[in-house]
Structure 1
Amino acid sequence: MNGITMWMEKYLVPVAAKIGSQKHLVALRDSFIGILPATLTGALAAMVSAIVTTFPQSIQQMVLGPTKFSQLAPEDVWTLANTPIIGDLNNISALVNQGTLTVIGLIFAFSWGYNLARAYGVNDLAGGVVAVATLFAGLPNQMPKFLDALGVSDAGVAATDKINGVLTGQGLAAWKPLFAAAHMDAGAYFTIIIMGALAVIIYAKLMLADITIKMPESVPPAVAKAFLAIIPTITAIYAVSLIYYIIDKLTNDSVINLITHYIAEPFQILSQNIFSVLIVTLFVSIFWFFGLHGPNVLAPALDGIWLPLGLNNQALYFQVHSEGIRDLVARGAIDKAHAINGDYVSLWVRGSWDAFVWFGGSGGTITLILAILIFSKRKDYKTVGRLGLAPGIFNINEPVLFGMPIVLNAIFFIPFLIAPLVAVIIAYVATMLHWVDPVVSAVPWVTPPIMNAFLATGFDWRAIILAIVNLAVTFAIWTPFVIAANKMEEPEL
């Protein structure tokens, strides 16, 4: 054990420490954190829609049982969609969803540009503007396809009566670009990360090289600051636009489509493999064992790959609700390669860890606390357990990780690694076998265990059972090591 620990301290920890402090990755992590308010607002809208449509049906199904529920006539299935005020709230939530999840890629673009520019120590507001402009510069114009579908062309302007005569006497040039919503949601993340980084880095380097327009001191600071960013912004946006243009001419396709097809999709398909999920889970625990914040170190993978899949599930759930999600899963539409009419459901997303694995935080430490309070005979452990119980209920486990400590604690290293791996396997298999719905809603990470799983799966009552099973299994894994720790002497104070 000591040999393994020394090897990891020598070779793994320095690499992880560098990753955790690398400014581009730190900026990326902070960018995902920055869009959390919009993500959770969209999740709230999805929950309201679920309460109106799915939640009453889930309760009815739980009371009657799946067989009797399936035999109900449509008019006998509970719903609140037509209830006054509640139905209006559902419609308002649709607008909230439109302003958050539908354009979450656009929101992320600003957050990414802002945080990356801040990492370079330059005008962060202008950095956000550069990233947003970079996104829109590369979006393919859908207007020609739209007009072709309507049978409208310059040669037949009379056909514009189909669209209220907006084009009458003006020709197609009167139309502004039309962008697809699918290019502004979470599907744009990879393009924003790559092209946005390129543009903002060019902008930042020119700012740092002082290739700017300097205004007299008499000019108000806000105006002077804006003028400083003009040349770097022009250069950056023209540079990425030139790349967009050349690639479009060479491939007859847009950069966002190419990145999605050749970079994002392979990573996301690979992410649904159980081994990928287990590897990430394992390294989160390993990093924490050495005192490094595992989810933060691996945020580029967790948030860059699994978070967009979760947002895709959430956006889809808002439209089709639980029955639609189950239908897609049953028909095998579990990745983009097997999408049905463009729709697919990911079985494992970023929120799956919080719902079914990391109870009380990484390692499932809420069950460790319970095992300590029940079985431990050590006063120091019981003291830390009592202090860590309340935060642990809300998935804050730093008091336990550093108070026990679990960090560099050889006796707790094994359960800290094994417990989440076993929980992942159980949850993954249960989801794959359709015993429980996949996670379809971004629930705040501080939501207590069991409730988190119930809300995250769109009020699937079976998620409660799965969460309880994983809690029991995790508790059973931690308990023998807590009992074994009783034989160790308490440290002298």
Structure 2
Amino acid sequence: MAENNKENFLNEKVIPFFNRISSARHMVALRDGMTAAVPMIIIGSLFMIVGQFPVKGYLDFMTHIFGPNWANVVQYVTNASFNIMGLIAVAGISYSLAKSYRDIDPFSAMIVAIAAFILTIPLQVGKDGGLLIPLKQFDSSGLFTALLVGLFVTDLYVWLMHKNLVFKMPDTVPPAVSNSFAALFPGAISLFVVWLIRIGVEATPMKSIPNVITFFLQDPMSKVTNTLGGALVIELVICILWFFGIHGANAISGIIDPIMYAALAANAAAMKAHQPLPNIITKTFFDNFVHIGGCGATLGFVILMTFVAKDQEMKALGKLSIAPAFFNINEPVIFGVPIVLNYRIIIPFILAPMANIIATYFAMKMGWVAKTIGIYPPWTTPPFLSGILATGHISGGIMQLFNIVMDTIIYYGFFKSMDRAKLKVEQKATD
């Protein structure tokens, strides 16, 4: 009876509530806007694997054939695709949101949003005195700013358009020209507002809009040490930031990485001196035992999508994502499912890496698994191999396999719920 009441409560109250949220105008715009980046992410992932394939013999062979700069040349495509995720997101979100309103030209709104996004980025002065835009702000590092700008500026632009603050052209003027001039006053006012916000932020210790998140995280994160509790806090912050479209690992890397690398260096020094390794929580601990398949430990989820999904969309995305996932590249899943702002998947997205931390920590503490020895395998090294390299022992690889199985089990129930929901939508569309 109690179980039935619980199920009725979920079906009648909780699920409809989240369904209303997910179908809201702005949530749909966020989903559709970020989905626009998926093809570029998949293309960039494939070229990244080619340029960073973690086998020394392969790298030496490619260097011998194509020269020492070959990897940089290959990854021109990766840079051109991965490094514009924020730019694609702001364009896609703005276009989708503007299109949902009546009598609004979405293309004009998108152009204004792109200009506003670039306006938030602090420019750098080149050697020749010219102004340079840091490309890093166009990638996932600037994604949160892109989400806010895409929504806020577009809504402001639409509101101004509905107030008839437009420059009207004669009816004989072609629509493309008329729409461009109609955007003149709303676009100018929108950019003026963003400009004022930027000036206000620059007058604070944060110095620039992209620094706002890092500024508020810096003090609390700098106090977290390499303990089990600290590792869990770090991972919770990373996952929550990713849920809101912020690259969590990048956002706190400047604060946490020095601590993690120092712990790894201490292990390397202890090993060289033939002393017990002092630290469990290190940089390689996170990269190789926690983020298996990428942040959120999504390899298990991708395996389910590829081999278990009944919904054709999920299965197709799984097949496209499985190869990058084995090299710890999970942007195709993050933005393709999407995981960002997806209430159906946020719980396992947090629980899976948390479980990896706890299981690996106690296995290493009990001496069942070797600690990380100071070697830092490339982050694209596939599981099992990276575990062996990171610990210098096969127990590291076995621990990774255990974590993958555990992650798959954690994701399974939530995956099945999502798969069923998507399958119903697919079947309705074909009826």
Match of 1:139 among 116, 121, 139: 121
- Taking a change above 3 Å as real, the CA distance of residues 142 and 477 of structure 1, as seen in their structure-2 partners, is closer
Please say if residues 80 and 87 of structure 1, whose CA atoms lie closer than 8 Å, have aligned partners that are also in contact: no
Which position in structure 2 is the counterpart of 1:359?
303
CA deviation digits over 1:112-156, x for unaligned, max 9?
A: 32223223352222222222211221222332xx7xxxxxxxxxx
Q: Distance in 2 between matches of 1:257 and 1:477?
A: 33
- Taking a change above 3 Å as real, the CA distance of residues 425 and 439 of structure 1, as seen in their structure-2 partners, is farther
Please say if residues 91 and 150 of structure 2, whose CA atoms lie closer than 8 Å, have aligned partners that are also in contact: no
Q: Distance in 1 between matches of 2:191 and 2:25?
A: 22
Helix, strand or coil for the counterpart of 2:132?
A: coil
Q: Distance in 2 between matches of 1:10 and 1:23?
A: 22
Which position in structure 2 is the counterpart of 1:258?
212
Tell whether 2:160 aligns with 1:211. Answer: no
Tell whether 2:197 aligns with 1:273. Answer: no
Helix, strand or coil for the counterpart of 2:164?
A: coil
1:234: Cα distance to partner? Answer: 0.8
Which position in structure 1 is the counterpart of 2:326?
none
Which position in structure 2 is the counterpart of 1:99?
80
Size of the aligned set, in residue pairs, is 341
Please say if residues 19 and 25 of structure 1, whose CA atoms lie closer than 8 Å, have aligned partners that are also in contact: yes
Helix, strand or coil for the counterpart of 2:245?
A: helix
Which position in structure 2 is the counterpart of 1:24?
26
Instruction: Please report the TM-score for the alignment, with normalisation by the length of structure 2.
Output: 0.60
1:328: Cα distance to partner? Answer: 8.0
1:18: Cα distance to partner? Answer: 1.8
Tell whether 2:99 aligns with 1:118. Answer: yes
* TM alignment of 1:125-274, pairs within 5 A: 125-143=107-125, 175-249=129-203, 251=205, 253-262=207-216, 273=232
Q: Percent identity?
A: 20
* TM alignment of 1:33-44, pairs within 5 A: 33-44=35-46
Query: Could you tell me which amino acid in structure 2 is paired with residue 80 of structure 1?
Result: F
Q: Distance in 2 between matches of 1:200 and 1:222?
A: 19
1:203: Cα distance to partner? Answer: 0.7
Q: Distance in 1 between matches of 2:156 and 2:121?
A: 20
Q: Distance in 2 between matches of 1:456 and 1:127?
A: 46
Helix, strand or coil for the counterpart of 1:304?
A: coil
- Taking a change above 3 Å as real, the CA distance of residues 463 and 22 of structure 1, as seen in their structure-2 partners, is farther
CA deviation digits over 1:405-447, x for unaligned, max 9?
A: xxxxxxxxxxx99999986555445677677999956xxxxxx
Helix, strand or coil for the counterpart of 1:273?
A: helix
Name stretches of at least 5 consecutive residues in structure 1 with no aligned partner.
Answer: 60-77, 147-162, 167-174, 281-297, 314-325, 333-337, 370-386, 397-415, 442-450, 479-493
1:3: Cα distance to partner? Answer: 1.8
- Aligned-CA RMSD value: 5.3
Helix, strand or coil for the counterpart of 1:82?
A: helix
Please say if residues 426 and 470 of structure 1, whose CA atoms lie closer than 8 Å, have aligned partners that are also in contact: no
Q: Distance in 1 between matches of 2:12 and 2:121?
A: 46
1:271: Cα distance to partner? Answer: 12
Q: Distance in 1 between matches of 2:294 and 2:45?
A: 14
Name stretches of at least 5 consecutive residues in structure 2 with no aligned partner.
Answer: 253-259, 267-280, 320-344, 365-370, 413-431
Tell whether 2:404 aligns with 1:466. Answer: no
- Taking a change above 3 Å as real, the CA distance of residues 339 and 228 of structure 1, as seen in their structure-2 partners, is farther
Helix, strand or coil for the counterpart of 1:359?
A: helix
1:390: Cα distance to partner? Answer: 12
Query: Could you tell me which amino acid in structure 1 is paired with residue 75 of structure 2?
Result: A
Q: Distance in 1 between matches of 2:9 and 2:167?
A: 53
Q: Distance in 1 between matches of 2:209 and 2:347?
A: 42
Which position in structure 2 is the counterpart of 1:83?
64
1:47: Cα distance to partner? Answer: 0.7
Please say if residues 44 and 77 of structure 2, whose CA atoms lie closer than 8 Å, have aligned partners that are also in contact: yes
**Who wins on radius of gyration, i.e. which is larger?**
1
Helix, strand or coil for the counterpart of 2:21?
A: helix
Query: Could you tell me which amino acid in structure 1 is paired with residue 99 of structure 2?
Result: R
Please say if residues 232 and 354 of structure 2, whose CA atoms lie closer than 8 Å, have aligned partners that are also in contact: no
Which position in structure 1 is the counterpart of 2:245?
304
Please say if residues 357 and 423 of structure 1, whose CA atoms lie closer than 8 Å, have aligned partners that are also in contact: no
Query: Could you tell me which amino acid in structure 2 is paired with residue 241 of structure 1?
Result: W
- Taking a change above 3 Å as real, the CA distance of residues 231 and 11 of structure 1, as seen in their structure-2 partners, is same
Please say if residues 105 and 188 of structure 1, whose CA atoms lie closer than 8 Å, have aligned partners that are also in contact: yes
